[in-house]
Amino acid sequence: MALETDYIVIGSGVAGLRASIELAKSGARVTVLTKDKASESNTEYAQGGVAVVLSDDDNAELHEEDTLVAGAGLCDTEAVETLVTGGTKYIKQLIEWGTEFDREGGKLVFTQEAAHSRRRILHAHGDSTGKEIVRALIARARQEKRIFLMPFANTESLILHEGRCVGVRFLDPILRAPREIFAKGVILCTGGAGQLYLHTTNPSVATGDGMAMAYFAGAEMADMEFVQFHPTALNLENAPRFLLSEAMRGEGGILRNKFGERFMGNYDERLELAPRDIVSRSIVAEMRKTGTRHVFLDMTALSEEYLKERFPKIYETCKFYDLNIAKDLLPVSPASHYCMGGIRTDLHGRSTVAGLYAAGEVTCTGVHGANRLASNSLLEGLVFGARAGEAMITDNGKWKVESGKSTDEDQKPKTKDQPSEGIATAVKKRVKRVMWERVGILRDKDSLNRALQEFRQIEKANLSISSRNFVTLAKLVAKGALWREESRGGHFRNDFPERDERFRVHSIQKLGAEISSSEKINF
């Protein structure tokens, strides 16, 4: 028997939790599905902090300008204004709800990160900002008796009726069998797709399923070619690519090559505080020049006492691998970190499919343009999660939940037999390696065409739903990168190294259609 609720939220990061709270305020029943435990999301791993205009020497215009500069000419100005002005309101609300940002003498402490002109970054417990925000939002959500959290429920596809999204299919966490749940509307807050790449700072759940589900439901996808690679992921053999926060360079960290030389001055006058895409490419260039697989982050000018207090999680993680961040040079290299592209939405989280909304990294709102400004992601999830919840209530009040209606033919793969887990693992490993080698930090026509050829070969196999989603997303990124014959922000083409004003447009991809372009994301 199918389940019913008023609204479905998929994902329990900052965007999903904030949307759920907004929906529940109306008295609606809200079911939150997440494929892991409720706190497992990209939000929980966000170390750097959250950017917000609250300090005395800052203002909204400065934050907007920094965001637009980082976005390399592709930000939608209205979206940026919405983010910055709404951010102050929603961060104040978070503080009222008990979020414990770091303070000194009772006053909030603001730090600076790359490409910010002011110290406007709030942190919690040094380098555990995302975890603290999730804690506060989960505590607030549990006060709403109309919010039902369903962990370990892996969503497989969206249900459509007459072109409208009316529910989802998911694997029941107890029965381990497919089930359906119907609602007036669905909000996707499933995060990004960092796991598409061999080396990533993202948790294992960041496989981009929400993006793929929306694409197969007919939603437009925007700017999929823009992937941000974080410059400084810890690079140790037999260890995960643990993120060494942007804030470490903000606090004075220096990048050195294998000879101990500071090299960023050879690439950008802003040195270590240049935008992430520039720092990442500079590191790659230096590694190639010196024949190494990593460079070093040097924090030794700062005291151990200060570093231990400022970066407690990073300090302990490095200590586990026999590294003292106050005394040792830390081996680092870039890793995939954030997707600027995603489901095309308006400023209220509406996708191009009726009844389907989205918020957070799964979307492309136009806020980040070609390159996200550090610490704007948590703010985006908070602001647009709340706005999507508001819009869903306003738009769908008249709709009834009717689970008995026939549904549109969806894009579920026609498999003869369910592929084994081993095959699914092999497919993902292959895709991740191809993406890293051919659709990575440096791209060109030949490597992108070869990647697409490999993906088409992989698609011929009998794939599981998750494998099909994974390969599809990889193709969307590669196709967008092949189409964009210029270098801008997080997208760099060796064969088109300059920015081209003809491409000061957004790439739009839709199932069954060729890539098109649009001057604006919002519609």
Taking the domains of the chain in order of start, what are their residue ranges? 3-223+340-396, 231-334, 421-502
First-residue to last-residue Cα distance in the chain: 38
**Residue type at 84?**
V
Task: Give Cα 192 distance to the centre of its chain.
Answer: 4
Chain centroid offset of residue 164 CA? 26
Contact 276, 228 (CB under 8 A): yes
Burial of 497 (0-12, 13-18, 19+ CB in 10 A): exposed
Question: DSSP E strands: which ranges in 200-329?
Answer: 221-222, 227-234, 254-256, 295-298
User: What pLDDT was estimated at residue 417?
Assistant: 53
Give buried/exposed letters for 100-128 (b at 16+ CB in 10 A, else e): ebbeeeeeebbbbbbbbebebbbbbebbb
Which pLDDT belongs to residue 411? Answer: 45
The CA distances from residue 63 to 25, 59, 121, in Å, are: 30, 7, 11
Q: What is the pLDDT of residue 39?
A: 54
pLDDT, tens digit only, all 523 positions of the chain? 689 999 999 998 999 999 999 999 999 999 999 987 665 555 544 556 899 999 888 999 999 999 999 999 999 999 999 999 999 999 999 999 999 999 999 999 998 777 788 889 998 987 788 889 999 998 999 899 999 989 899 898 999 999 999 999 998 888 878 899 999 999 999 999 999 999 999 988 899 999 999 999 999 999 999 999 999 999 998 888 888 988 899 899 999 999 999 999 999 999 998 888 889 999 999 999 999 999 999 999 999 999 999 999 999 999 999 999 999 999 999 999 999 999 999 999 999 999 999 999 999 999 999 999 988 999 999 999 999 999 999 998 788 887 766 677 654 545 445 666 777 889 999 999 999 999 999 999 999 999 999 999 999 988 988 899 999 999 999 999 999 999 999 999 999 999 999 999 999 999 999 999 999 998 8
pLDDT at residue 418, as a whole number = 62
Active site (annotated) includes residue 270: no
* CA angle (456 as vertex; 452, 460 as ends), nearest 5: 165
Name which CATH class applies to 231-334. Answer: alpha beta
- Cα–Cα–Cα angle for 141, 343, 168, nearest 5°? 60
- The pair of three-digit structure tokens given for residue 405, joined into one six-digit string: 């209606």
Q: If we measure between CA atoms, which residue out of 456, 517, 273, 303 comes closest to residue 373? A: 273
Task: Give the active site residue among 249, 276, 350, 493.
Answer: 276
pLDDT for position 177? 85
CA nearest 475: which of 516, 415, 434? 434
- Report pLDDT for 422: 74
Nearest CA to 178 out of 154, 149, 214, 213 is that of 154
* CATH C-level class of 3-223+340-396: alpha beta
pLDDT at 419: 67
By C-alpha distance, which of 495, 499, 479 is closest to 435? 479
The whole-number pLDDT of residue 203 equals: 87
Q: Which helix (H) or strand (E) holds 8?
A: strand 7-10
Distance from chain centroid for Cα 316: 25
Residues in the chain: 523
- Report in angstroms the alpha-carbon separations of 522 from 9, 340, 413: 22, 15, 31
Bridge partners of 336? 200, 229
Is the pTM here over 0.75, yes or no? Answer: yes
Cβ neighbours of 56 (radius 10 Å): 6
Topology annotation, domain 421-502: Methane Monooxygenase Hydroxylase; Chain G, domain 1 (1.20.58)
pLDDT attached to residue 333: 96
